[in-house]
Amino acid sequence: MTTQVLARSDAAPDNGVREQLQALAELPPEYAMMRLENETIQSLAMSRPRDHKRIRDEIAEQLAAYPSFASAALYCKPVGRDDRGCMQYATGLSVRAAEAIAEAYGYCRVRTDVTPIDDDHVKVSATFVDYQKGRIWEDAGIVTKLYRDRNGRMRRHADDRFYNVIVKAELSKRVREVILRSVPPGLRTELQEMAERQMRKLLGGEGVQRVLEAFGKLGVSQEQLERYLGRTVGQGWTQDDRLRLLGLYNAIEAGETTVEEAFDSVANTNGDGHPSGPQAGAGPVTADALTNGKASKGKRKAEKSETSEETETLAANAS
């Protein structure tokens, strides 16, 4: 294919095309193809300015059309107590929501990499490239096979679980981070509010029973949930309570946290004997404020060796 293009260039040479094609011909085939793809995407991006209203409306339509997507659009997880002893929570858009944003955003690419450091540690990284704005955002971290069990003993993840579960979950979080950091803050906050409104609709009526059934499949009892919220079902779970629990469920499902981490954080009682769940004044902390929350005790953080997984998030949006 390169030879044919060069021949055509000889027949009708013009402004620097021959030099560009010659440079492509000197590259290894895989790099030449990647460069052609990048330049094609950039050309399309320049000719079609980004429409933020269309992006917002497209995601709003998805939230309304797909209840399962709407119910998984946010996460909420405990990240420790403040100076008053009140539990704080990191809340934000989930991995699935970030993927939907990237797809609607258009003209972008996400790349993930895993680099081994030693037998027990790897470096995971994700890169987001916005071809329209010429912006690149990277995020990286170290993950380990070592963790402490609930009794405080040091354990080591088996390789299959480490690479197939923990590493993939960590990569997903890095991908979410680079996508959300690359889009305008106004778009993030607008979509989070939209997702909250849609999730509240889904939690009406039999919402409490749905929450109990979902956590029951994870082995979490009603008593644990009541201790987590600091009030019983009989006392009445508010819509905010149900929203928080659904966000926690999403965080567990996505590997943001584990059942043990989430419910061990409220297993003990305060000095006055009351459950150490959310107290007056406790509330959610945005994920942006906490930069994606706290590291989860090193339990779920690692990645394969020289794997370089590349995910292309919609090269062009024809509409």
Same domain, 173 and 99: yes
Residues 31 and 176 grouped into a single domain: no
Residue 318 maps to a domain? no
Shared domain for 32 and 149, answered yes or no, is no
Model pLDDT for residues 59-117, shown as the tens digit of each residue:
999 999 999 899 999 998 888 777 887 778 888 999 999 999 999 988 888 999 999 99
Residues 162 and 282 in one domain: yes
Residue 8 and residue 109 share a domain: no
Does residue 20 form part of some domain? Answer: yes
Is residue 286, in this structure, part of any structural domain at all? yes
Question: How many domains is the chain built from?
Answer: 2
Domain membership of residue 316 (yes or no) is no
Per the structure, the complete domain to which residue 201 belongs is given by 52-311
**% of the chain at pLDDT higher than 70:** 70
Please indicate, yes or no, whether residues 20 and 85 belong to a single structural domain of this protein: no
75 lies in some domain:
yes
288 and 166 in a common domain? yes
- For the whole model, what pTM was predicted? 0.67
What DSSP string runs through the chain? -HHHHHHHHHHS--TTHHHHHHHHHTS-HHHHHHHHHHHHHHHHHHHS---HHHHHHHHHHHHHH-HHHHHTSEEEEEEEE-TTS-EEEEEEE-HHHHHHHHHHH-SEEEEEEEEE-SSSEEEEEEEEEETTTTEEEEEEEEEESEEE-TTS-EEE--HHHIIIIIHHHHHHHHHHHHHHHHS-HHHHHHHHHHHHHHHHHHTSSSHHHHHHHHHHTTT--HHHHHHHHTS-TTT---HHHHHHHHHHHHHHHTTSS-HHHHHHTTTSB-TTSSB-S--TT--EEEHHHHTS----TTSS----SS---EE---S----
Residue 317 in domain: no
Please state the rounded mean pLDDT for residues 47-66.
Answer: 90
Q: Are residues 17 and 137 in the same domain?
A: no
